[in-house]
Amino acid sequence: MFGANNSVFGWRLLKKIPRVVAVVSLALASVAAQAIPSAVHPHKQPSGAPKPYGALPSEQQVAWQRMEFYGFIHFGLNTFTNKEWGYGDEDPTIFNPQKFDADAIVKVCKEAGMAGVIYTAKHHDGFCMWPTKSTSHNITKTPWKNGRGDVVKEFSEACKKEGIKFGTYLSPWDRNHPDYGKRPGDAYTKTYNKQIDELLTNYGPIFEIWFDGANGGDGYYGGAREKRNIGDPEKYYNFKDIVKKIRRIQPDCIIWGAGHYGDARWGGSEDGFVNYPHWHTIGTKGKERGGTGTRDGERWVPAEGDTKVNNAGWFWHPGQDKKVKSVGKLMETWFDCVGRGANLILNVAPNRDGQLDPADVKALLEFKKARDKLYHKDFALNAKTVKASNVRGANFAAKNAVDGDMDTYWATSDNAKSPEIEITLSQKAKFDVVRVREEIRLGQRVDAWALDAWVDNNWQEVVEGSSIGNQAMLKFPRGAVTTDRVRLRITKSAAAPCISEISLFKFPDSVDISTADSEPVISGIRKNKWKVVAPVAGTNAKSAIDGNAATFWKTDSLKTLPQSLTVNMGETISVKAFAYLPRQDGSFTGMTDRYIFELSLDGKKWHKVAEGEFGNLRASPEEQIIEFTPQRARFFRFTGTRALEGDYVSAAEIGIVKE
């Protein structure tokens, strides 16, 4: 890690140390260069502040939770293979994105309101997108920039240039490395540690590092092509020591995952959705639940909801432009994630040219516009008057809750756990969204609250909430109200409430949440002339070609794989891809993750046109479109050779894309 593009000459040190000193103290500098000191300042509570309650965030976590929204970028060999999970044997020469421009991509991310970007420096395929010394399976083996490129560097520098933060994803699971999964302390874990060192030392401040929990088992593993079981990931990777090391090298880096040692947790779905009530704390005894957290859990490990701007995949896939999420859907996700106190990480995937899909860019910018409209006026800000049923003292005045400053808060005396605060707005306004925030540095205290509006000379409850934490932003279920008076009632709290902000907004009329795309897109040609060819396992094979995502074919009469479905399309056409939509009912039984696909002109002589694996279906059961060299056919045969669970095949839909 102290090689040619060695951190001694890193931008940070050059900025801070006079040139002469830097040159003279070369030997020492290489040691010093390892660490990036904390830029986070300790926070002091005003005198008389309430005692903290329960597990507390670090100041780094507070800063991170205030970021709210940043981007995810999946870009690597999978971009060129149409796969979600590379097997580990991919040929590096396929990576050659001729128009890759990190600046252009990061610019869009910034314009979309992202506070940072996290890039997949290594995914499960084990291929390193920077010139690492840890393995030869890396970017230097590609024709891109004649093997002298460094995607991590380009993204980190683009972020610096745009003034947003840079983070990285380094998959612990490595389907390429020959020694993967041997034993704790094996050659692979040493390699992995080197990779962490390089990424945290050579690319400036990393705001977050992602230790993905996926460990699928089988892979290339240097040619062994077998299944490897690592047992307890915490022990195998030794996350305890990894976390210790990261704290030393980059104390401000938020560690995502890493078993019981990390700073941030998964939101529990790849839809960005987290549950409500939502707790920032989790238990340490294996009871923690990603999407909900644990009330009064032992550790502060806030959630990050992850999802994609489309319903296609984390990496780029052909046809994904038709699956971009609507602004309504993205806004719904915003409320279901950020609005519940979690951070949202939203993925965009550059294509094979190394550019963002215009459809994705459009969605990102429209999403930003909708949020700007939502937030453009906070009707409670600097209200005319604010009165509370109880105030702890001058440092904790009621007006602190509407001053637009997250560091000031209204607090009550210790025994006043169900107080009220009444806000008179500077003028009458129409609104339908309330956002409440706690001073999380003192813990997550509130369990339940309600908002009343003064309408027709009466207090009317407009919305009820449970947890608050970093924020609870709720839309009024019965629509907007017009008034100049509201009242927040804290109805249950474990300790004196500390409310840092109360805001009132109007959800933009131009955004229609009811159109939030609930049905998955089904790709391909119409199927009305299609006929299932007997014999076929199971009884409801027609459900795989009925154009309905809710019905599915599932074999059950045979108990072994492989099992097939043969279809006569009723006409001879040139076929360039097939589409597999996994069952959408939440079960994994028969969900095919290994397939063979064949075509035939007469239903007798068959040509295999595709064979492979669908990755990541468990977390993201989305339609998979598999392209191949176009061929004329009247019949196709889909065969499942392996399932996520059970010896079955199932499919909500199988489709055909015509050339």
Q: Which is nearer to ligand FUL, 454 or 588 (CB)?
A: 588
Bridge-based pairing state of the strands 433-438 and 498-505 = antiparallel
Q: Which is nearer to ligand FUL, 314 or 505 (CB)?
A: 314
Instruction: Please give the Cα distance from 94 to 143 (Å, whole number).
Output: 8
Query: What is the total count of residues that contact Ca ion (CB under 5 A)?
Result: 5
Token pair of 264 as six digits: 């941030």
Closest by CA to 317, choosing from 615, 70, 619, is 615
Kindly provide the residue ranges of all beta strands, DSSP E only, lying in 181-275, ordered along the sequence: 208-211, 218-219, 226-227, 254-257, 265-266
What, of ligand FUL, Ca ion, none, does residue 84 touch, CB below 5 to 8 Å by kind? Answer: ligand FUL
Instruction: Please give the Cα distance from 199 to 214 (Å, whole number).
Output: 20
Q: Which residue is nearest to ligand FUL (CB)?
A: 214
Per-residue binder mask for ligand FUL (CB under 6 A), 617-656, x = binder: --x-------------------------------------
Closest by CA to 110, choosing from 152, 146, 67, 52, is 67
Q: Which is nearer to ligand FUL, 212 or 484 (CB)?
A: 212
What, of Ca ion, ligand FUL, none, does residue 470 touch, CB below 5 to 8 Å by kind? Answer: none
Token pair of 445 as six digits: 């205290």
Q: Which is nearer to Ca ion, 439 or 593 (CB)?
A: 439
Query: For the chain, how many helices (H) and strands (E)?
Result: 12, 29
Per-residue binder mask for Ca ion (CB under 5 A), 480-509, x = binder: --------------------x---------
Q: Which is nearer to ligand FUL, 103 or 212 (CB)?
A: 212
| Residues forming a β-bridge with 208 | 254
Site for Ca ion in 386-415 (CB under 5 A): 400, 403, 405, 408
Instruction: Please give the Cα distance from 411 to 27 (Å, whole number).
Output: 53
Task: Report whether the peptide linkage leading into residue 535 is cis, meaning its omega lies within 30 degrees of zero.
Answer: yes
Counting Cα atoms < 13 Å in the Cβ hemisphere of 109 gives: 35
CB 501 to Ca ion: min, Å: 5
Token pair of 311 as six digits: 């319903």
| Residues forming a β-bridge with 645 | 589
What, of Ca ion, ligand FUL, none, does residue 593 touch, CB below 5 to 8 Å by kind? Answer: none
Q: Which is nearer to ligand FUL, 345 or 433 (CB)?
A: 345
Site for ligand FUL in 44-103 (CB under 6 A): 84-85
CB 56 to Ca ion: min, Å: 19
Q: Distance of CA 482 to CAs 385, 422, 486, Å? A: 18, 16, 10
CB 495 to ligand FUL: min, Å: 36
Q: Which is nearer to ligand FUL, 97 or 313 (CB)?
A: 313
What, of ligand FUL, Ca ion, none, does residue 616 touch, CB below 5 to 8 Å by kind? Answer: ligand FUL
What, of Ca ion, ligand FUL, none, does residue 306 touch, CB below 5 to 8 Å by kind? Answer: ligand FUL
Q: Which is nearer to Ca ion, 271 or 403 (CB)?
A: 403
Tell me how far apart the 2 most distant CA atoms of the chain are, in Å. Answer: 86
DSSP class of residue 513 equals G
Q: Which is nearer to Ca ion, 408 or 568 (CB)?
A: 408
What, of Ca ion, ligand FUL, none, does residue 111 touch, CB below 5 to 8 Å by kind? Answer: none
Of 134, 616, 624, 650, the residue at the interface with ligand FUL (CB under 6 A) is 616
| Residues forming a β-bridge with 599 | 607, 636
Q: Which is nearer to ligand FUL, 167 or 524 (CB)?
A: 167
Cβ count within 10 A of residue 528: 8
**Which residues in 543-579 are b (16+ Cβ under 10 Å) and which e?**
bbbbeebebbbbbbeeeebbbbbbbebeeebebbbbb
CA angle at 489 for the pair 484 and 493, rounded to the nearest 5°: 155
Counting Cα atoms < 13 Å in the Cβ hemisphere of 8 gives: 17
Token pair of 568 as six digits: 């006569």
Q: Which is nearer to ligand FUL, 542 or 642 (CB)?
A: 642
CA angle at 560 for the pair 174 and 557, rounded to the nearest 5°: 135
Instruction: Please give the Cα distance from 544 to 546 (Å, whole number).
Output: 6
DSSP class of residue 459 equals E
| Token pair 């009632």: residue | 489
Per-residue binder mask for ligand FUL (CB under 6 A), 285-314, x = binder: ---------------------x-------x
CB 437 to Ca ion: min, Å: 8
CB 265 to ligand FUL: min, Å: 13
What, of ligand FUL, Ca ion, none, does residue 500 touch, CB below 5 to 8 Å by kind? Answer: Ca ion
Q: Does 215 bind ligand FUL (CB under 6 A)?
A: no
CB 30 to ligand FUL: min, Å: 33
> Would you tell me which residues interact with Ca ion (CB under 5 A)?
400, 403, 405, 408, 500
> Would you tell me which residues interact with ligand FUL (CB under 6 A)?
84-85, 212, 214, 306, 314, 616, 619
